Amino acid sequence: MHIIKKENQKNNFLTDHTLINNEIDRSIKLYKWGFIISSLPPGSFLVGGYIRDLILGRLNSNVDVDIIVPQNAMEIGKKIAENFKGKFIILDESRDVIRIIFKHITIDIAVQISHSIDTDLLSRDFSMNAIAFSFEKKLLIDPLNGIKDIQLSLLRTNSKQNLIDDPLRILRCFRFVSQLNFNIDEELLGFIKKYRNHLRQVANERINYEIQRIIRGKNAASTVQLINKLKIFDYIQSKRDLIFIDLEKINFEKLNELERKQFLPLFFLFQILDEVSLKELKFSKSDILKIKLLRKWKIILDKKNIYDLTEKERFDLHKELETILPAFILTLPQKFYMDWITRWRDKNDKLFHPSNFISGDAVKKYLKIKDGPLLGKLINYLSRELAFNRLDNFDEAIYKGKQWIKQNAPKCD
């Protein structure tokens, strides 16, 4: 199997069925969603991620509940939403899948698709998600030994056909590697290598959603490394050059916790997709621009030593990357990390924060200049003078601004 290193991971999860049953009952009371159970028909089951996360001790205040009912999910969901004032959403009308959103919990209800719950569970993506709890009998159903696989931190599928039927499950596999630090079963890994290009059949919005989850997982660095190794996204960008960095050599600890949360997802996204692919996968214009700028400056510095950048190039780098510089710092040699991150944290550093010091409104007021290309060029000039310590105060900036306008303003015949 593919092994991803774990550090200080404790096996503090539940494995005994009786204990899990008791913990499910306790969690229902703790997270206050037992009120809907009386509205469910006999033969209803709790399934999927809720049980998995409970076993792993990962349940939190943002609770998602998946329930299977024998029939009429739409009708049952509408009644629950009306009776308990929840927001009712149809997720898949043809398959009878609905969602009810309350302030503290989200509940998905689907119809059982097979003659028995065991057969239903056999069609799910991974064994760890193929566990059910009978509300009626207070009994766990685990036909694929999913609890054992959770104990082993193992991602395993019962049937390759389950993944072929919905190729997005290939990407979901990496999401669970990133979030849970699980290993991938050797047979499943071989299947992923063979069928990875089936992802082209999946709606781009669904792929976008999984990527967003992958790059925010605790084990995102190793997961992104694996995604690149297996060429998972070759189907969408095989003819374009990507910039791969050996993530094992990156010292992420140089960023503080807030910086890691804010900038590491962008850094990891930069490692797996270029701006053209991001556009195709329906990422935001903001994300696309950020990746484009990160790629631009990484390519420049791959060809040119950072010490050989011209003054204009160095200023433009900080101007264009100012708001996302920590994501770019990780692409530099480690000897630059502390100096650059320390200077970026200093909001008074005129080179690392060139946008902080020249106000367009002030320039317009004191230099009697209107909005337009000339104003933009003037502000850029004054910002650069400040960044390289050629201005000491505001009066000097106004004086230099006047001199610049005399030299650069259009001449009228």
The pLDDT assigned to 240 comes to 65
The pLDDT assigned to 239 comes to 65
| pTM to 2 decimal places | 0.86
CA distance 277 to 236: 6
Q: Which DSSP letter does residue 177 get?
A: H
Higher pLDDT among residues 329 and 379, named by residue: 329
Q: Please, which pLDDT band fits residue 3 given cuts at 50, 70 and 90?
A: very low
pLDDT tens digits along 196-231: 999 999 999 999 999 999 999 999 999 999 999 999
Record the tokens describing residue 63, joined without a space: 């609770």
pLDDT tens digits along 310-366: 999 999 999 999 999 999 999 999 999 999 999 999 999 999 998 877 788 888 888
Percent of the chain with pLDDT over 70: 95
**Would you list the DSSP string of 209-220?**
HHHHHHTTSTTH
The pLDDT assigned to 37 comes to 95
The pLDDT assigned to 347 comes to 94
First to last CA, the chain: 78
Record the tokens describing residue 25, joined without a space: 């009952």
The pLDDT assigned to 41 comes to 96
CA distance 350 to 387: 5
Half-sphere exposure of 362 (CA within 13 A, CB side): 11
Number of H helices, E strands in the chain: 20, 9
372, 410 Cβ separation under 8 angstroms: no
Report all structural domains of the chain as residue ranges with CATH numbers, in order of start.
Answer: 17-152 (3.30.460.10), 357-408 (1.10.246)
